[in-house]
């Protein structure tokens, strides 16, 4: 009986370790997805903030600002935004479909 006990314990230990690895990997993937969702939401907020500021600037000055820096905005990811001063359009480099 003892001869079977030790191999069974080892087998259960290996199976349990594989389960922990799978769970850890799933947790890491979920965390990565959550971070991407947060980044996307922040970029979406930045796009809205910048676009509204550009529209307000145009309404007051009848021209678009030369750069987003002229607007003195507090943004989460300013390096992610691309601005076209000819059209007043603001785009995301990371999420171009927003």
Mean pLDDT in the chain? 85
Residue 62: inside a domain, yes or no?
yes
Residue with tokens 């230990």: 13
Dist. CA 72–CA 50, nearest whole Å = 10
Question: How far, rounded to the nearest angstrom, does the alpha carbon of residue 4 sit from its chain's CA centroid?
Answer: 51
What's the confidence (pLDDT) of residue 59? 98
* Other C-beta atoms lying within 10 Å of the C-beta of residue 90: 20
What's the confidence (pLDDT) of residue 93? 95
What range does the domain containing 64 cover?
28-92
Residues (pLDDT < 70) of the chain are 1-21
State pLDDT tens for residues 78-95.
999 999 999 999 999 999
What's the confidence (pLDDT) of residue 21? 64
What's the confidence (pLDDT) of residue 19? 59
Tokens found for residue 62 = 């009848």
What's the confidence (pLDDT) of residue 68? 96
């Amino acid at each position: 009986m003892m001869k079977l006990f030790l191999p069974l314990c080892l087998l259960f230990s290996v199976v349990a370790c594989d389960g922990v690895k799978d769970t850890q990997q799933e947790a890491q993937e979920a965390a990565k997805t959550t971070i991407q969702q947060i980044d996307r939401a922040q970029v979406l907020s930045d796009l809205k903030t910048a676009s509204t500021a550009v529209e307000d600037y145009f309404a007051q000055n009848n021209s678009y600002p030369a750069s987003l820096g002229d607007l003195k905005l507090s943004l989460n990811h300013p390096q992610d935004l691309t601005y076209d001063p000819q059209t007043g359009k603001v785009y995301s480099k990371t999420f171009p479909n927003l």
